[in-house]
């Protein structure tokens, strides 16, 4: 058995191969919970603390909800989620849609900013994502969609 076959059988990827998942979900609000759960299960391989896992789940929930509620506010679409483990303690989560896009990203990222004329939304989605991750990037084009990228580096774990 060669080294590559041995590592595959051990269940751990080779050191130079970073693990990744891609998920596509219809823009139904019920799928927010599925996205959150799938991402947290995938990230569990990094052995996050309970608090870190809760932070990630909350950030993913906000990003997916934004895509569903705001990105596809005038119809139906697909929410694309990519989660990639960058190293032993760092994960990158991308949530993307092909919805209506954001006219002014800088304004949209301000706390309490909302386009919700009904007053049902607090305008805190990007603020929540930013507070629970280490880096947040938002790229959007009106009529083309939005991509939210979140980076989270987990703290060091004590040896067991």
Q: Which fold has domain 18-153?
A: Heat Shock Protein 90 (3.30.565)
Mean pLDDT for back-to-back runs of 10 residues, the chain (160 residues): 53 69 96 96 94 95 90 90 94 95 75 56 70 92 94 78
**Amino acid 46: pLDDT:** 93
Catalytic residue among 32, 36, 52, 66: 66
**121 carries an active-site annotation:** yes
Among the listed residues 62, 92, 96, 130, the single catalytic one is: 62
Residue position matching structure tokens 């891609």: 22
The rounded distance, in Å, linking the Cα atoms of 47 and 71 is 32
pLDDT of residue 55: 95
Give the pLDDT confidence score for residue 134 in this predicted structure: 95
Q: What pLDDT, on a 0 to 100 scale, did the predictor assign at position 129?
A: 83
Written as six digits, the tokens of 2 are: 């060669």
CA distance 93 to 49: 18
Domain locations in the chain as residue ranges: 18-153
pLDDT of residue 143: 92
* SS3 label, residue 32: helix
For position 75, what pLDDT does the model report? Answer: 86
* 158 tagged catalytic: no
Whether the full predicted model's pTM is greater than 0.95, yes or no, is no
pLDDT of residue 74: 79
CA nearest neighbour of 39 among 160, 133, 121, 126: 133
Does residue 66 have an active-site annotation?
A: yes
Cβ proximity of 65 and 128 under 8 Å: no
């Amino acid at each position: 058995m060669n080294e590559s076959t041995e590592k595959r059988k051990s269940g751990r990827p080779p050191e130079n191969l970073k693990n990744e998942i891609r998920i596509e979900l219809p823009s139904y609000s019920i799928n927010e919970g599925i996205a959150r759960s799938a991402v947290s299960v995938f990230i569990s391989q990094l052995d996050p603390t309970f608090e870190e896992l809760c932070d990630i789940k909350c950030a993913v929930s906000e990003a997916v909800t934004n895509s569903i509620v705001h990105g596809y506010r005038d119809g139906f679409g697909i929410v694309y989620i990519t989660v990639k483990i960058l190293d032993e303690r760092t994960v990158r989560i991308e949530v993307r849609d092909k919805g209506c896009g954001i006219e002014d990203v800088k304004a949209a990222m301000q706390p309490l900013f909302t386009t919700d004329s009904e007053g049902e939304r607090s305008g805190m989605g990007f603020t929540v994502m930013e507070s629970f991750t280490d880096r947040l990037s938002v790229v959007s084009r009106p009529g083309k969609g939005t991509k939210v990228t979140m980076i989270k580096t987990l703290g060091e774990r004590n040896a067991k």
